[in-house]
Amino acid sequence: MQTPPVAVRARPEPPELSAGESACAVSAVDLRHRYGTTEALAGVSLQIARGEFFSLLGPSGCGKTTLLRLIAGLEIPHDGELRIGGRDAAGWPAHQRPVNTVFQSYALFPHLSVADNIAFGLRMKRVPARETGERAARMLELMAIAPLADRAPAQLSGGQRQRVALARALVNEPAVLLLDEPLAALDLQLRHQLRGELRQLQRRLGITFIFVTHDQEEAMSMSDRIAVMHAGRIAQLDTVEALYEHPRNRFVAQFLGACNLVPGRWAGAGAGCVTTELGDLVVAARAAGADPAAVGGKVTLAIRPEKLRVRSASEATAGPNTCPAVVAAVEYCGAETHYRLDVQGATLTVREANTGTGRTRRTPGETVRVELPPDALRVLED
């Protein structure tokens, strides 16, 4: 979607807030919420900066949508503190909060035209008719849907309905835009297209986006930071690169992309050597808090499939972190070839980019040597 340069009014900063508070769009401290006896949120603490594209990522039932509903004011937390723009959200009605929500279903009014759907919120706020028309027209242009202004939602494609839902939320000039899996109902190609447009739109407007998804690739492609959630808690909150390259625990390592896990025991306290079923492995990089307490202490190592190096048995020499292996399966996946290796009774997954014309393709049953580079191994906290 190519969007013309459209002037968008900047939302004024609340004058009563301190510099520290005004830099934070949303903050939570030990936030808890229950549905009956089920604890949906079990002590969530986070800070989301103004102008940030922030994602809540996790499987169904992890608490991400519950947290979004608390921010929107659709649910009231049972314990903890929630602040929006530095202001305590306790007792703050949903319709008065400086947030708007785009739902997975889009929730467009079927009896209203596209233009009237966009203008609906402004009319409910009794914004003067002239200003309402001008702001709705700007949103139609911004979202490149001006030619659709007179159509009904039933006459639109999925991607067009998504743009209308975004325009209806943004026309109210919220400080925070909440997006509850807005791309989930679209086909794969359209999702790829629209997530790029969504990221460009956020950068252009400078509004804080809080995006809920269970799709790892979706979150990684758009976010400044991601909170990976599990069982009502934040398993890890960090930048996209830090989450992928330095997962702290098993859940994050396995949920955010493919990962090989290798259990073992420390061969010596502080020695950086772990005894595993693959042999003794040297570890050059450790996760925070994973320093061995004693010789023989249990530890789990993680390594991404693309970090492994596979060599022919004839061209490889034995060295640190190098093991003999047998190719058990080969999958050609276009840009990559995936291998499953049997390594001394264990299984490792390898992904190699299909670059260059002289690249050797391994075959099932072939004997190879696999290297686990020390600087690619991560020590997990659990």
In a domain? residue 11: no
How high is the pLDDT of residue 149?
92
pLDDT at 316 over 80: no
How high is the pLDDT of residue 355?
83
Q: Give the separation between CA 121 and CA 125, rounded to whole angstroms.
A: 6
Q: What is the pLDDT of residues 166-221, one digit of tens each?
A: 889 888 889 999 999 888 877 888 788 888 888 988 998 899 999 999 999 999 99
Contact between 180 and 101 (Cβ < 8 Å): yes
Binning pLDDT at 50, 70 and 90, where does residue 337 land?
A: very high
In a domain? residue 364: yes
* Domain boundary pick from 191, 222, 245: 245
How high is the pLDDT of residue 357?
66
How high is the pLDDT of residue 107?
83
In a domain? residue 217: yes
How high is the pLDDT of residue 295?
62
Smallest Cα–Cα separation from 50: which of 168, 221, 170, 202?
202
Distances (CA, A) of 119 to 107, 209, 321, 371: 14, 21, 63, 60
pLDDT at 69 over 50: yes
Indicate whether 340 and 236 sit together in one domain: no
Binning pLDDT at 50, 70 and 90, where does residue 291 land?
A: low
Indicate whether 238 and 264 sit together in one domain: no
Which is more confidently placed, 171 or 285?
A: 171
pLDDT at 117 over 90: yes
In a domain? residue 237: yes
* Domain boundary pick from 245, 279, 305: 245
The domain in which residue 367 lies consists of 258-379
CATH number for the domain spanning 233: value is 3.40.50.300
Residue 42, C-beta contacts closer than 8 angstroms, at least 6 positions apart: 32, 63, 231, 232, 233
- The kind and range of the H/E element at 332 are strand 322-332
Please give the share of the chain, as a percent, with pLDDT higher than 70.
Answer: 88
Indicate whether 68 and 209 sit together in one domain: yes
Distances (CA, A) of 364 to 121, 328, 354, 361: 61, 5, 18, 10
- The kind and range of the H/E element at 131 are helix 129-142
Indicate whether 179 and 216 sit together in one domain: yes
Indicate whether 238 and 314 sit together in one domain: no
* Domain boundary pick from 191, 220, 245: 245
In a domain? residue 174: yes
Burial bucket for residue 88 (CB in 10 Å: 0-12, 13-18, 19+) = exposed
Indicate whether 214 and 276 sit together in one domain: no
Indicate whether 263 and 163 sit together in one domain: no
In a domain? residue 341: yes
Binning pLDDT at 50, 70 and 90, where does residue 293 land?
A: low
Indicate whether 235 and 339 sit together in one domain: no
Distances (CA, A) of 355 to 109, 313, 334, 351: 50, 21, 10, 12
Indicate whether 225 and 364 sit together in one domain: no
Smallest Cα–Cα separation from 19: which of 84, 83, 86?
86
Please give the share of the chain, as a percent, with pLDDT higher than 90.
Answer: 61
In a domain? residue 295: yes
Contact between 250 and 235 (Cβ < 8 Å): no
Indicate whether 290 and 373 sit together in one domain: yes
Q: Give the separation between CA 252 and CA 64, rounded to whole angstroms.
A: 15
Contact between 249 and 262 (Cβ < 8 Å): no
Q: Give the separation between CA 248 and CA 236, rounded to whole angstroms.
A: 7
Number of independent structural domains in the chain: 2
Give the global pTM: 0.85
Q: What is the mean pLDDT of residues 262-279?
A: 81
Question: Mean of the per-residue pLDDT values for the chain?
Answer: 86
Indicate whether 138 and 67 sit together in one domain: yes
CATH number for the domain spanning 281: value is 2.40.50.140
Q: What is the pLDDT of residues 2-43, one digit of tens each?
A: 444 444 444 334 334 344 455 799 999 999 999 999 999 999
Give me the residues paired with residue 238 across strands. Answer: 226
Indicate whether 318 and 354 sit together in one domain: yes
In a domain? residue 9: no
Q: What is the pLDDT of residues 123-174, one digit of tens each?
A: 988 999 999 999 999 989 988 889 999 999 999 988 888 889 888 988 888 9
